[in-house]
Chain A
Amino acid sequence: MAVKRKKKRLKLPGQKTSVFLNGRLIGFHESGPSLARELREKRRAGTITHEMNVHYNRGTDEVYINTDSGRARRPYIVVEDGKSKLIPSLIEQLKTGELSWSKLVKLGVIEYLDAEEEEGAYVALTEPELLPAHTHLEIDPVSICGVTVSVLPYPEYNSSPRITMACSMAKQSLGTYTVNFNLRTDSRGHIMYYPQQPLVRTRPYKILKFAERAAGQNFVVAITSMQGYNMGDAIVMNRSAVDRGLGRSVFYKTYEAEERRYPGGQKDKFEIPAVTTQGYREEKAYRHLGEDGIIVPESRVSTKDVLVGKTSPPRFLEEMSVFGVMEEKKRENSLAMKSGEEGTVDSVMITDSLSGNRLVKVRMRSIKIPEAGDKFASRHGQKGVLGLLLPQEDMPFTKDGIVPDIIINPHAIPSRMTVGHLLETLGAKAACLSGKFADGTAFHGDKEEEFKAVLRENGFEEYGEEILYDGVTGVQIKSKIYIGVTYYQRLHHLVSNKMHVRSRGPVQLLTHQPTEGRAREGGLRFGEMERDCLIGYGASMLLRERLLEESDRTYELVCDKCGSIAIKDHIKNREYCPLCDSTSLHYVEMSYAFKLLLDEIKSLHIFPRLLMRDKAR
């Protein structure tokens, strides 16, 4: 049995502290803490480089000194005796420009800690809470957040799981992911039409210059139910606003074709394939191609249209023809649009690939207008799918004639506790009225009271609620409705890129069962549990239809005598059993997967026989 080792390391009398430099033992010291303290003082005084970090581990009585590259470090304000070293006079000097950041580091006012030294530091979040025991002070409380969280408004008002979700969704938002998108050939890319910077920003948002490549728009949001079309996180959107360009984006997709070389000196060729080519598609498919077999820019193409006509040499060398001259049989190998996709050819590029072959890149462009099923999210983990596009005239309106862009369901709020969402709505509404951006930086954003005051001054309800009128009847809606402005992101989960249906379609070569997945125009699996349901219901015939007739039904010849699968020789037009030569055979309906199972069992050296009898006796 394993013996539990005591964690505490025994220190023998006279034993010295081990000192490690960059992970390597370099010697021993009388007193670890004083060594660490001394090194730290020298670093702050500038005698030792500020890139050095020390850590004294009390548990193991070891000192770690790190100076190597690749350590993640972050700055802190140095605290001594409970007092920040960044004193007001220094701040003044900073403002006038007499001092710089690097100077502060040199002065030992600010120092960078690595992960190891940070382990032994006691960091205060704000200056008022400084205690004598503190060793460092955070430069700004927001800096405890990463890049993604720091651009979210009012995260401290939200529940933590929602912040996590908001972060992961912000990464899926459509915007301007790069400014030179027009010069690039990304395999997929979304660019938003009219991106806006949010009315409620954060300080890091400005520092990151996020506004220059914004990913979202300020929507007028009303929080109320809407004919049941925004149940369960659905969103009702103003169709007229969508027509005016709300949430609109372009989708770029790049296709590639290469003239490959094959062993034996043969090569692919870009051309419009001749009608004699093996696997020639219908003529219509090639209609957009230019003389060189490459598509003409700005042509509108739809499903299965050819983008680059390409022919390849045959896969197997053909036998010499009688006349001694081999007629070149070519194989059609064109690049075509994937099924269900359409768009306009944005640009065509012809270059060389790494292996020196001719390479064509075709960039497709299609405009993606918000439609039912597209996904939108605020910056508070409040995501939803577009459920209904309602014309402006049918949307509720306020006394000022303001019509919401989207209507979200109030049930989305209480259980998720995203108070920040409501606060942002209020803040952005106030920002609209005052003409000043609101600040939603974590821990010290603008306060609710300030927004209320602005709203009051401008003759609005200070709680952000307004009386709305039914767009269809014009009747005043009985309760007040929370309405304001919220920054919404369109996420790259668009129905048009996901929608998939199949009635008939391709089957797999091996099993004769329908293929799987949208890309292969596949079927939807009727799985084990679905099967159980039909059995449980007793729908025997329906089950057989699903699993056999609509899937991989075959008719196999079975030998009466030996019970093995027989064959039909189409050339001699003769049916016989290859095992026992019997001609007493019957066609049996079975699933192809079962036939395959029999074959596999045979490969185990087990001989399965099918014993038959008449169905009705």
Chain B
Amino acid sequence: MATKVKREIDVGEAVGILAAQSIGEPGTQMTMRTFHYAGVAEQVPTGLPRLIELVDAKKEPKKPLMDIYLSPEYAKDPKKARTIADDLECTILSQVAEISEDFVEKKIDIVLDEKNLEFEGLTVEDVKKTIKAAGGTVTSSGNRVAVKPNTTSLRLIRRLTNKLKGMHLKGVEKIKRAAIIEAKDGIFIRTYGSNIAEVMKDPRVDAKRVFTNDVKEVERVLGIEAARNTIIRETKQVLDLQGLNVDVRHIMLLADAMCMDGAVKSVGRHGLSGEKAGVLARAAFEETIKHLITAAVKADDDKLIGVTENIIVGQTVPVGTGTVRLKFKH
């Protein structure tokens, strides 16, 4: 009980500022360190760039990644895990075939690479079936397939070509690569590309332990609570990786603020700060004139609730010692 009371936050504590400073101060050191790594190729953004990505609530991270843990049966055996990984990796037509357009004959030539097909565990017949699904008249001889579109419009032919190039042959869509990582707590698969909805359907996967770094995807598939946890987990990970010790509760507050009204919002003009209650507070942040004019058109009131507004006006700030008010009763 004693610890519980001790750990409780006092009334009027400026938790937002504290969280911002607690994340921001070590963040400045992070900037100085990460930019020394510039030039290392093919890296998942870490450090400040990643932190910015999270806080900005980007639609898709620069490098979507998934960590997939497996059901007990597969979690011990790397070979079995490998089969899952191979099944997850997605293959598209352009990876196994040479696709060229013939605008004179108004057709599309596809030359399948049998070696690649074998490597991917596909047969020419499988691929032909998929190609047929795309539409057009399909004729084939051996590993050569010709598609005669139903149209003569060059633009539509090009559209069909692009569709064919991206035809999904096997595996889970969007998963570009899958690798097996043997960790202390069992084997897991790390994939480049993220698609939790599909991966979780696989019975060989431990559906409760499928992680992605794509916050928006989590929000879409699993809901806002899961998205909040993802933000916390990812942010914490970035900071831990840099050896920065930030109390989780600061990060939790940040995540709470971002997920407060049921959808993940970014921190900034288009999200949190842009939706502050006070006209003056918004005007003080960015796009001053826009906020003033819309406020004038709508005849908005500023109730002087927030910190910024009160500083502008020259009053005490409703935080800390400023939370105390005198009340008279007549």
Contact = CB atoms under 8 A, between A and B. Distances in A.
Contact of B21 (A532, A539, A540, A597): A532
A27 interface: no
Interface in A571-617: 589-591, 594, 597, 601, 604, 606-607, 611, 615-617
Contacts of A553: 314
Interface footprint category on B: 20 to 34
Nearest to B295: A606
A589 B314 CA distance: 8
A536 to B, nearest CB: 4
A543 interface: yes
Interface in B279-330: 289, 292-293, 295-296, 301, 307, 311-323, 325-328
Contacts of A601: 292
A541 B17 contact: no
A594 B17 contact: no
Given A594-B314, A601-B292, A616-B326, A535 B321 contact: no
A353 to B, nearest CB: 47
B223 interface: no
A397 B327 CA distance: 72
B319 A540 contact: yes
Contact of A544 (B20, B293, B316): B316
A548 interface: yes
A604 B313 contact: no
A101 interface: no
A547 B17 CA distance: 18
B313 A590 contact: yes
A543 B318 CA distance: 11
Nearest to A531: B311
Nearest to A589: B314
A5 B269 CA distance: 42
Contacts of A615: 326
B277 interface: no
Interface residues of A, number: 28
Contact of A594 (B14, B312, B317): B312
Given A538-B14, A543-B311, A606 B320 contact: no
A532 B326 contact: no
Contacts of A316: none
B317 A606 contact: no
A590 B304 CA distance: 13
Nearest to B301: A611
A537 interface: yes
A597 B311 CA distance: 13
Contact of B313 (A531, A536, A591): A591
Is chain B's interface secondary structure helix, strand, loop, or mixed overall? helix
Given A538-B319, A540-B322, A547 B327 contact: no
Nearest to B320: A538
A537 B326 contact: no
A594 B309 CA distance: 10
Interface in A296-317: none
Contacts of B322: 538, 540-541
A537 B320 contact: yes
A328 to B, nearest CB: 46
Contacts of B240: none
A614 to B, nearest CB: 8
Interface string B95-120: 00000000000000000000000000
Contact of A606 (B296, B315, B318, B321): B296
Nearest to A545: B316
B327 A616 contact: yes
B44 to A, nearest CB: 28
B282 to A, nearest CB: 14
B221 interface: no
Given A531-B311, A589-B314, A594-B313, A538 B321 contact: yes
Contacts of B314: 544, 547-548, 553, 589-591, 594
Contacts of B20: 532
A604 B316 contact: no
Nearest to A606: B296
A538 B13 contact: yes
A615 B324 CA distance: 12
Given A606-B292, A616-B328, A541 B316 contact: yes
B313 A541 contact: no
Contacts of A535: 14, 17, 307, 317, 319-320
Interface in A475-503: none
Nearest to B21: A536
A533, A535, A589, A611: most-surrounded residue (chain B CB, <10 A)? A535
Interface in A541-559: 541, 543-544, 547-548, 553
Contacts of B12: 538
A617 to B, nearest CB: 7
Interface in B1-47: 12-14, 17-18, 20-21
Contacts of A540: 316-323
Nearest to A548: B314
B253 to A, nearest CB: 13
Contacts of B327: 616-617
A9 to B, nearest CB: 31
Contacts of A548: 314
A151 B10 CA distance: 64
Interface string B198-229: 00000000000000000000000000000000
A536 B18 contact: yes
Contacts of A544: 314-317
A552 B315 CA distance: 13
Contacts of B311: 531, 543, 547
5 contacts: A538-B322, A539-B321, A544-B314, A544-B316, A616-B328
State the 6 A-B residue pairs at the shortest beta-carbon distance, nearest first: A538-B320, A540-B322, A591-B314, A536-B17, A606-B296, A548-B314
Given A606-B295, A615-B326, 6 more contacts: A535-B317, A537-B14, A539-B320, A540-B317, A604-B292, A617-B328
